[in-house]
Structure 1
Amino acid sequence: MKYFDYAATCPLDREAADIYIKASTDYFGNSQSLHEAGSAAANLLESCRQEFSRLLDVEEAGVYFTSGGSEGNHLGIMALLSAKTKMGNHIITGAAEHSSVYNLMKKLEAEGWEVTYLPLDRDGLIKIESLAHAVRPETVLVSIQHGNPEIGTLQPVKKIAEYCRPKGILIHTDCVQTFGKIPLDSLARSVDAFSISGHKFYGPKGTGVAYVNPKLAWKPYIDGTVHEKGFRPGTVNVPGIAAMTAAAQKAHSIIKTENDRLHKLRTILVNALAEINGSFEIFGTEGEERLPGIVGMALHGLEGQMVMLECNRRGFAISTGTACHTGMLTPAKSMTAMGINGKEAKGFFRISFGRDTVEEDVTELGKLLAAITSRTAAV
């Protein structure tokens, strides 16, 4: 199987896997325990915290380890709501947010909060003007995803933060798709909370990082929680965190070269589709406002699920959207948020590249998509 679904998850880096095994056997103590084995685990944990603080250029006191992006989003948003700096019950978010944010917003609405969902334009971007129009005196939080997992667009989170900061509005952003792919240090310093997930950059599943500005007086989501300074309950996964840290270091060190390579793979795919030019559409923006490794597209007149199944039959793993959305009958959130509905929305599918993607496989996939289109048109 030739894998083209890296936006969903990545294989575990082998060096990170070795570190996981070593930490599991040599640093197995509970980091909360006061004996020597516990202290050794706690020291390893804190060294990992220091490293993420360095990679992200944020204060170490604001770095918390989680079970992944979904938990990090949930706890980060709730921490900000508990620490809001002014009176109000209004939240602004995007219409194409990850399900962990979208479902939390629906829960908050049921509890009496007012939530505004900002649409995307045809390029998949949230306009500052639409945000400004949505802001009210009682707006206390804005949560906007940094990198879209379906079409790869990058939202102007820094500009959004610059607009909101003088108004006392706290900012949360989901950086699950962007950490390890583009530098985040400047963005990380501009927001109040963000989250990342280990398995998106070749770390182990079940690991993640949330950052909350340590200057904010947030309250634990569950009273009595002691782990991670009250941020989350449960024994800390020190071996997983150590492996995730190693994966983060590696991803961070090759951002430039890997980004250049992914740009090249994207160009190769488009060139391989040249013979069906006009029969396909790639959604989202161009240039620096996108992640090159994510290609959200459609073949005109064909359902995305049919394309995905045909590719799978021929040995190529692609997807019809985020893994958390797979199996639902509704179109991908990004399509709906962009105002694309009906048959056009159901045509969506996603191709995403990773470290093991080679040029020959991209060319072969492009030719397969062209063949599917041509064969269907001839019927």
Structure 2
Amino acid sequence: MKYFDYAASCPLDKEAAQVYVQAATDYYGNSSSLHDIGSQALDLLENSRYEIANLLGVDKAGIYFTSGGSEGNFLAIHALLSSIKNKGKHIVTGMAEHSSIHSTLEKLRQEDYEVTTLPFDASGHISINQLIGALREDTVLITLQHGNSEIGTIQPLEEVSAICKEKGILLHSDCVQTFGKTDIKPIARIVDSLTISGHKFYGPKGIGAVYIQPHLQWMPYHPSATHEKGFRPGTVNVPAIVAMTIAAKKAYENLDNYHKHYEILRNAFINTLEPHLLNFVMYNSDIPSTIGMRIKGVEGQMVMLECNRFGFAISTGSACQVGQQTPSKTMLALGVEDKSAKEFIRISFGRETNVEDVRELALTIGRIIQEQT
């Protein structure tokens, strides 16, 4: 089976795996314990906090380790809202946000918050003019993904941040799809909080991090929590944090090389599929490792199953909504509805992907197009 679903999850980097085992066996103490064995684990934890902060270009005092992107989004949004008092209950977000954002905001609706969701423009980006038009006197938070998980567009957060600072609005960004694929230091400096997730850049599953601007005075969501300065309960997973840090450093050290690699793969895929140009729609992407497309008149799930039969693992969208028989949120945000929205498929590359396999996948999809259209 040839894997083309790296946007959903990556294999664990071998060096990161070795470090995980070493940390779990040699530095097994609870990082909150006061004895020497606990202190050794604490040293590893704090060194990882420093390294992640360094990659983001931020103060390590704002780094909190979590179980991943979903928990991170939930806790970050609640932390930001807890830092403001009596300023309003209106939030602005995007239609194509990750399901963890939408579920968090749905819970907040039950607490009398009002939420305005914005569509994409034709290029797959949030319209700044529409965003400005959605703002109200009682708007307290904007939460926008940095990179879209299904088509790979990157949102104009610099412009959004400038608007937020002018109007005193907090800004959260889900950076799960961009950390390790592009340098997000410029983004970390301008948002109030962001989230990353280890398994998106060859770290372990079940580990991630949140950055919150240290000057914000937030309240713990779990009142009795003591770990991570009260940010979340539960014993800190030091081995996974150390392994994630190794994977993150490796991703950043090779950003330019991987970017060029993904551009070569993307061009090879598009060029091989060119004879069928009139039968598919390919969406604009700012992340070359992610290709979002539709085959006209063919349901994406069928294409995914046919590719699987021929030995290729692709996706029909975000792994957190696959199987729900609902259209891709990104397609809906783009104004693609009904049967057309269910035609969507996603192909995503990793550092192990090679040109030959990409061409074979494109030829396979070409055959499916010929048979089904």
Same fold (TM over 0.5): yes
TM-score, scaled relative to structure 1:
0.97
TM-superposed deviation, 1:348: 0.4
The answer for the alignment partner of 1:367 in structure 2 is 363
The answer for the alignment partner of 1:114 in structure 2 is 114
Deviations 1:110-162 (A, max 9, x none): 21000000111121110110110001110000000010000100001121011
**Cα distance between partner residues in 1 of 2:107 and 2:173:** 19
TM-superposed deviation, 1:84: 2.1
TM-score, scaled relative to structure 2:
0.99
**Cα distance between partner residues in 1 of 2:218 and 2:91:** 17
**Cα distance between partner residues in 2 of 1:93 and 1:376:** 37
Whether contact under 8 Å (1:86, 1:140) holds in the other structure is no
TM-superposed deviation, 1:67: 0.4
Q: Tell me: CA distance 1:352–1:246, structure 2 relative to 1, closer, same or farther (3 Å).
A: same
Residue among 346, 349, 354 paired with 2:350 = 354
The 5 Å alignment of 1:332-351 reads 332-351=328-347
The answer for the alignment partner of 2:265 in structure 1 is 265
The answer for the alignment partner of 2:84 in structure 1 is 84
**Cα distance between partner residues in 2 of 1:215 and 1:368:** 53
Deviations 1:258-313 (A, max 9, x none): 00110110010000111112111112x35xxx111110101111110000000000
Q: Letter of the aligned partner of 1:247 in structure 2?
A: A
**Cα distance between partner residues in 2 of 1:170 and 1:346:** 34
Q: Letter of the aligned partner of 1:44 in structure 2?
A: L
Whether contact under 8 Å (1:83, 1:217) holds in the other structure is yes
Whether contact under 8 Å (1:259, 1:292) holds in the other structure is yes
The answer for the alignment partner of 2:251 in structure 1 is 251
**Cα distance between partner residues in 1 of 2:86 and 2:13:** 44
Q: Letter of the aligned partner of 1:59 in structure 2?
A: D
Q: Which moved more, 1:228-237 or 1:156-165?
A: 156-165
Equivalent position SS for 1:228 = helix
TM-superposed deviation, 1:376: 2.0
Q: How many residues align?
A: 373
Q: Which consecutive unaligned segments of at least 5 residues does structure 2 have?
A: none
Q: Which moved more, 1:171-180 or 1:339-348?
A: 339-348
TM-superposed deviation, 1:342: 1.0
The 5 Å alignment of 1:11-90 reads 11-84=11-84, 87-90=87-90
**Cα distance between partner residues in 1 of 2:93 and 2:85:** 18
The answer for the alignment partner of 1:240 in structure 2 is 240
**Cα distance between partner residues in 2 of 1:245 and 1:359:** 29
- Poorly superposed stretches of 4+, deviation over 4 Å: none
The answer for the alignment partner of 1:199 in structure 2 is 199
**Cα distance between partner residues in 2 of 1:171 and 1:301:** 39
Q: Which consecutive unaligned segments of at least 5 residues does structure 1 have?
A: none
